[in-house]
Structure 1
């Protein structure tokens, strides 16, 4: 598969609400490209509108 197809697929998946439990949240809503795909918020609302702490670790290279 040429790399441009993989990039295109990744971009589509990053915007796909079907990947969330209730089909309402996209990955790009939390992982901000301008922040190296990190979420700088300490707290967040989950799919049930409950406040939760961020608990995902940043990836390291």
Structure 2
């Protein structure tokens, strides 16, 4: 009975570790590139808005 309990504990720990590893891998491969792309898009959008605003307020 002792081996059975140890086996259950080891199995649960291994399953949790696998789930955490899968989550972190998914986040690194899928979510982070999307967030980086959105941040770059926002920075470009802000810069474009500043240039457009400045172009319309230029004094000759």
TM-score by length of 2: 0.31
Higher RCO (C-alpha under 8 Å, 6+ residues apart): 1
Greater Cα radius of gyration, structure 1 or 2: 2
Name whichever structure is richer in strand by fraction.
Answer: 1
